[in-house]
Amino acid sequence: MTNKPLALTPKEIKEIASVQQIQDLWGMANSEDMEMTLKDIYTVKFQYMNESPGYVGDLFIIQPGVLGSEFPVIRLVRNQEKQLEVLE
């Protein structure tokens, strides 16, 4: 396991873009628009492990290009059903 940020694969970007909650948070009309946005902003993945018995897996961070932007920083993890889940 590494604590360094990892680039997202095209498959991961497409998967994240298809999450309706993320599209809504960013005001996107569809997954294609969200996918184009994700390719132009800071999106990374970490191999994450918190205190035991906690979460172990991929943690995705989506950060707008400007700190203090109207768009939120989004954190996602895979839940037990292997679906992406937005952390509040």
pLDDT digits (tens, 9 = 90+) for 18-68: 999 999 999 999 999 999 999 989 999 998 877 766 667 889 999 987 777
pLDDT > 80? residue 86:
yes
Q: According to the model, what pLDDT value does residue 1 have?
A: 66
1-24 pLDDT, tens digit per residue, is 677 999 999 999 999 999 999 999
Residue 83: which of 27, 1, 21 has the closest Cα? 21
pLDDT for 69 beyond 80: no
Q: What is the pLDDT of residue 43?
A: 94
Distances (CA, A) of 63 to 18, 23, 39, 40, 41: 17, 14, 12, 10, 7
